[in-house]
Each structure stands twice: as C-alpha cells, then as structure tokens.
Amino acid sequence: MVNIDNVYQKVLVFANKEQRGYITPQEFNMFASQAQLEIIEQYFYDINQFERGNGNNTEYSDMVTLIQEKLGTLTKIHIFPKVPGMLGWHPLPDDCYKIGTVTKGGADREEIDEITYSEWTKYNKSRLTMFNFNTRGYVVTNWDPVNNISQRGIQVYPNDADMEGGIKMSYVKVPLPPKWGYQIVGNKALHDVSIYDPNTGAGKTTHFELHPAEENELVYKVLKYAGLSMKRDDIAKGGQGLESLQIQQEKQ
C-alpha cells in the first residue's frame, strides 16, 4: 500500500513551488487513478522484456522477481464452483483485471492452457488433436452461452462437469480507485484520514493498492498529468523527466 496523502503532499510541493499552480483534490484523485492503472499495465510489458534477457539470481535484484512481488499485492485466487448446466462456462470475477494461472480442481491441480477460439476450432477438426478429459484448454470470451448475454468469462473445453473441486484461477485484480478524502474547514481542504472500508462503504480515503516502492513513480506521473492539465510545460516536463530517469535506472 502507498499512502495517498504522502503522494498528494509531494505533488503539491513540486507543482506549487513559486506559486506555479495548485492541484485540487478532485483533480488529484483523477490523476492518481490514471497513474495507478498505468503502472500496473506496465508490469506485464516489463515482465515480458526482462524474461527475454538473461536475468540473474541475485537476491533483491532480479527484475522479474521484483515485478512479481509488486503484482503479488494485487493477486487473488478464485475458485469456480461446479454448477450443473454451465457446460464449461465460468463468469470471471467483477474485479478481474488479468488472468494468471487456471488449474483443474481436485488433488492434481493440473494447469489448463489458454487457447484462442481459432485454435480450439483447429484442434477439434481431428480426433487426434481434439480435447479430451486429460487434455484441456480454455478460451477467454465476452459472451455467456448459458444465459445468452454479454459477460466476460472463460469457456473450458471439453465440458468440465466431471471435475472434482471445480476450477481454480489466480488473477490480478482491478485496484480500488485511490481517493484523497477531505473535509472543508475554513475554506481549506483538510485530509480526512478515515479509511475506506470496501465491506461497509465507510470512510473517505482510499490508499493506492500498489507496492510501497511505487510511491516515487506515482508522484512523477501525477505531476506530469497535472502539468498537462494546467498547461504548464515546465511542470509536465519536470514530472516526465523524473519519471524517465527512474525508468532508466530500473532498466539499466
């Protein structure tokens, strides 16, 4: 978790130096949400890039391990229950951002490979390559064939009604939108430290659901967005420059 007030105060110091501009809480919250999603999306591209390199086994410095650790703060496990009549169709959780590993239920926990619809069609053309109960695959789809409605889910081939324990899936969840909660006191916005509780809806502040190491990059990204919004090239370029410098250090 990254404390949202720490990020906001640092951004204000950079942006408001010599009275160059002020970022309202509403603006900051929008920039913060965009910055958080951008950082998460970049993780997947970075993993692909670093896995193509030689990597290293040095403790604390293997980049793929470090990124996976950051993704760990957003990773959840979901078990699809066995439901008669679903015909291998399983709706994804509402907060699913990216699917990780899908495995069979039961004791063996055999991994199920993701395939495209065209691959499934090709495999089913031959008895030698078609899926059977020992060889499985799943297709990500946006259509629920059971209820005949648009819904994001996975279709497992062949029908998995005989499987014990359903299907288990790891995934990266969509983070809660960060929010710098505040109260107006004497025409001034003061931080409301009451924390948002997703179970009850209570509280006004929602911190970033990112690894603590991302605090600096959040500051730089929000500063960049703020400069663009205020049409202040100096602020935007300053944030962009600091962000680029950090990325360069990470990928050297």
Q: What is the pLDDT of residues 123-149, one digit of tens each?
A: 777 666 666 656 788 999 888 887 888
* pLDDT surpasses 90 at 179: yes
Q: Report residue 208's pLDDT band, with 50, 70 and 90 as the boundaries.
A: very high
Distance CA(245)–CA(100), nearest Å, equals: 31
Q: Which of 211, 210, 225, 216 is nearest to 247 (CA)?
A: 216
Exposed/middle/buried for 155, CB within 10 Å: 0-12, 13-18, 19+? buried
Cα dihedral sign for 103, 41, 69, 4? negative
* pLDDT surpasses 60 at 237: no
Cα dihedral sign for 150, 151, 152, 157? negative
DSSP state of 158: S
Q: What percent of the chain has pLDDT over 70?
A: 75
What was the pLDDT predicted at 65? 85
What was the pLDDT predicted at 19? 55
* pLDDT surpasses 70 at 163: no
Kindly report the average pLDDT of the chain as a whole number: 81
Is the model more confident about 34 or about 56? 34
Cα dihedral sign for 113, 47, 49, 37? positive
SS3 letters for 204-231? CEECECCCHHHHHHHHHHHHHHHHHHCC
What was the pLDDT predicted at 40? 94
Q: Regarding beta strands 89-91 and 96-104, do their DSSP bridges make them parallel or antiparallel, or are they unpaired?
A: unpaired
Q: What percent of the chain has pLDDT over 90?
A: 34
Distance CA(227)–CA(23), nearest Å, equals: 9
pTM: 0.79
Is the model more confident about 174 or about 86? 174
For the stretch 62-107, pLDDT in tens is 788 888 899 998 999 998 877 776 678 889 999 999 999 998 876 6
What is the rounded average pLDDT of the residues 189-211? 89
What was the pLDDT predicted at 91? 92
What was the pLDDT predicted at 180? 94
Q: Report residue 18's pLDDT band, with 50, 70 and 90 as the boundaries.
A: very low
Count of C-beta atoms within a 10 Å radius of residue 165? 16
